[in-house]
C-alpha cells in the first residue's frame, strides 16, 4: 500500500530541473512559458526547482558539446533515484541544426539515458507538458 501511495505521489508531484545545454534559447523560452498563467503547470504539482538534489525530472534543451557534457553528467548523477530525463527540441534529440558543428557531440542520449523525446524547433509548450506527462508514466515502470 505504501508503495502505491509513493508512486501516486510521485506522479502528482514532479519537480523539474531545467538544464540548457547548448540551446539557441528558443526551447528554453518555451519551457519557461509553461510556468506562466496561460499553461500554469503548478496545477499538476510541477515545480521548477533548479536544484538537482531536489529534482525528479531533468529537462534538457539544446545540443551537447564537449564542454557541457561533463556538467550534464554531473547534474544527472546528483539527482536521487528514481529520475526521468526528457530531451527537448531537435537539438536535444539529435543535435539539430548544430549537428555538423566541430564541437558538438550530438543529442542528449549520447551522454545520459533519455526516457522521453519531445521533437520540435522549438518544441511547443503543449508538447513539453505532454512529454513530462509521459515521463511520469515511466515512474510506474521504474518501481
Partner 1 sequence: MINTCALILAGLVAAPLAGGLVNGLDRILTARFQARVGPPVVQPFYDVVKLLGKEKTVVNVWQAFCAYCYLAATAISVVLFFLQSDLLLILFIQAVGAVFLVIGALSSTSPYSQVGAQRELLQILSYEPLLVLVTVGIYLETGSFKIGQVYAWDEPLLLKLPFLFVVLGYALTIKLRKSPFDLSTSHHGHQELVKGLLTDYSGPFLALTEIGHWFEVVLILGLCSLFWATSWIGMIIIVATTYFLEIVIDNVSARMNWRWMLGYVWAMGLTLSVVNLVWLYVR
Site residues for ligand SF4 per CB under 6 A: 23-24, 26-27, 61-62, 89-91, 96-97, 121-122
**Least distance in angstroms from the C-beta of 32 to partner 1:** 10
Binding status of residue 29 toward partner 1 by CB under 8 A: no
Cβ atoms of 80 and 87 within 8 Å: the answer is no
Residue 106 interacts with, from partner 1, ligand SF4, none (CB under 5-8 Å by kind) = none
Q: Which residues contact 72 (CB under 8 A, 6 or more apart)?
A: 19, 21, 60, 64, 108, 111, 112
Q: Which of 66, 70, 72, 62 is nearest to 23 (CA)?
A: 62
| Residue placing its CB nearer to ligand SF4 in the complex, 28 or 56 | 28
CA distance 80 to 76: 9
Scan residues 38-57 and list those touching partner 1 (CB under 8 A). Answer: 40, 42-45, 47-51, 53-54, 56
Dist CA 118 CA 96 (whole Å): 13
Q: Is 26 in the site for partner 1 (CB under 8 A)?
A: no
x/- letters, 105..134, toward partner 1 (CB under 8 A): ------------------------------
Spatial separation of the C-alpha atoms in residues 64 and 98, rounded to whole Å = 10
3-state DSSP assignment of residue 79:
coil
- The binder of 37, among ligand SF4, partner 1, none, by C-beta within 5 to 8 A per type, is partner 1
Residues that bind partner 1 in the complex, under the rule CB under 8 A: 5-10, 12-13, 15, 18, 37, 40, 42-45, 47-51, 53-54, 56, 80-82
Amino acid at each position: 500500500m505504501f508503495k502505491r501511495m509513493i508512486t501516486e505521489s510521485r506522479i502528482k508531484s514532479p519537480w523539474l530541473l531545467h538544464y540548457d545545454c547548448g540551446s539557441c534559447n528558443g526551447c528554453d523560452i518555451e519551457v519557461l512559458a509553461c510556468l506562466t498563467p496561460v499553461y500554469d503547470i503548478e496545477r499538476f504539482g510541477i515545480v521548477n526547482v533548479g536544484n538537482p538534489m531536489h529534482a525528479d525530472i531533468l529537462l534538457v534543451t539544446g545540443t551537447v558539446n564537449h564542454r557541457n557534457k561533463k556538467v550534464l553528467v554531473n547534474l544527472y548523477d546528483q539527482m536521487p533515484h528514481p529520475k526521468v530525463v526528457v530531451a527537448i527540441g531537435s537539438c536535444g534529440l539529435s543535435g539539430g541544426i548544430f549537428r555538423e558543428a566541430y564541437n558538438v557531440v550530438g543529442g542528449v542520449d549520447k551522454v545520459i539515458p533519455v526516457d522521453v523525446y519531445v521533437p520540435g524547433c522549438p518544441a511547443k509548450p503543449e508538447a513539453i507538458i505532454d512529454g513530462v506527462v509521459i515521463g511520469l508514466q515511466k515512474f510506474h515502470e521504474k518501481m
